[in-house]
Amino acid sequence: MDSKAEEQRAAVVVKGLVKTFGTTRAVDGIDLEVPKGTVYGVLGPNGAGKTTVLRILATLLQPSEGRASVFGHEVVEGAAFIRKRISMTGQFASVDKDLSGLENLHLIGRLMGFTRARAKVRAHELLHAFGLEEAAKKQVKQYSGGMQRRLDIAASIVVTPDLLFLDEPTTGLDPRSRNQVWEIVRTLVSTGTTVLLTTQYLDEADQLADRIAVIDQGKVIAEGTSGELKASVGTGKVHIRLQDPAQRPLAAQLLQQKLGTAVNYSSSASGLTAQVAENNLAVHMLEELDKAGIAVSDFSVGKPSLDEVFLTLTGRSAERAEEMEAEA
């Protein structure tokens, strides 16, 4: 692919990016390409280098090696251009906690070039849309975590950016606030904004991101759609529960013969699990069981979770992944 075409298609292109702090290589040769109009998730544990990549792309840090461009402009030379088209919501509230929500949004509006009156209207519009109208005149330090996060995102879209960076947008939020943030991100993307977000939550990447890069120790260890990542780990798994436990051996034999897949008994007396390569095989299973007169009480096809993907890829963070699950 030549670089011109790549520029038109991609919001972000990163090649061989390295960032060192002293002797630590926080980012150690990363390649990324974020297509315009999509949500791109950068997934990884704490200290993997996610935030550093984001800060480089947001023109807050300079790369040590390699190149990074946003809308075809290099992050160092084109910083002024890039700042006109991006917004950044940092990991820790990037709003002024000493001011009120209204004052924060008004401030950003004025800096972006709105008149006083227009900035005020826009601020109220956003406060309303983000459910913060009632807290408009309170100091942000009195807001809950979820409210701060919403205000933070609101501040990022006072003028709708072409590319929005969200650094761990839901870390530390309760499930309800997290769902609100997800809703905001989905709405934003539906209106054409590209979103690049980092997360430690596999669930979040799965829910929001069109494509995901899994980062560990400054390197991309896997990249693709959520489906591709799951497929790279293994095929889907079918869970079957029979009405009559006595029919289990028969069912197992039948499925093994007709479909040639490995069938295992699961821990419950009437349960079976089978690995399938394609989903339509699972449909055939149901047909075969029905023909043989075996009644099924429960049937589900599950893809491997991103947790499994992450564990398979990194191999060493079972404990951490569990912690993350607990937090999520």
Partner 1 sequence: MNKKQAPLSQQEALRTAVSTSERPKNAGPVSASLTFGGRMLLKIKYVPEQLFDITAFPIIFLLMFTYLFGGAIAGSTEAYLQFVLPGVLVLTVVMITMYTGIELNNDITKGVFDRFRTLPVWRPSVLVGALLVDLVRYSIASAIMITLGFILGFRPEGGVVGVLLGVAVLLVFAFSLSWIWTTLGIVMRSEKSLMGVSMMVLFPLTFISNVFVDPETMPTWLQPLVEINPVSLLVVAVRGFMGGEAALAEVGWVLLVSFLLVLIFAPLTMYLYYKK
Backbone angles phi, psi at 317, to 5 degrees: -115, 40
Q: What are phi and psi of 181, to 5 degrees?
A: -65, -40
Query: How many whole angstroms separate alpha carbon 104 and alpha carbon 109?
Result: 9
Q: Is 98 in the site for partner 1 (CB under 8 A)?
A: yes
Give the nearer residue to partner 1 in terms of CB position, either 180 or 270: 180
Residue 271 in tokens:
């349960």
Contact 72, 14 (CB under 8 A): no
Number of residues that bind partner 1 (CB under 8 A): 49
Query: Which residues inside 177-236 make contact with partner 1, applying CB under 8 A?
Result: 183-184, 187-188, 190-191, 193
Considering the rule CB under 8 A, would residue 306 count as an interface residue with partner 1? no
When asked if residue 40 is in the footprint of partner 1 (CB under 8 A), the reply is no
The answer to the question of residue 288 lying near partner 1 (CB under 8 A) is: no
| Residue 60 vs 233, nearer CB to partner 1 | 60
Q: What share of the chain is helix, strand, coil (3-state, %, to 5)?
A: 45, 25, 30
Shortest Å distance, C-beta 84 to partner 1: 4
Q: Does 111 sit near partner 1 (CB under 8 A)?
A: yes
121 is a site residue for partner 1 (CB under 8 A): no
The CB-based long-range contact list for 2-11 (8 Å cut-off, 24+ gap) reads: 6/33, 7/69, 7/71, 7/72, 9/35, 9/36, 10/34, 10/35, 10/36, 11/35, 11/36, 11/37, 11/70, 11/71, 11/162, 11/163, 11/194, 11/196
- Contact with partner 1 (CB under 8 A) among 26, 27, 39, 93: 93
Question: 33 vs 103, which CB is nearer to partner 1?
Answer: 103
Q: How many CB atoms lie within 10 A of CB 253?
A: 12
Q: Does 131 bind partner 1 (CB under 8 A)?
A: yes
Binding site for partner 1 (CB under 8 A): 55, 58-60, 80, 83-84, 86-88, 90-99, 103, 107-108, 110-114, 118, 122, 125-126, 128-131, 139, 155-157, 159-160, 183-184, 187-188, 190-191, 193
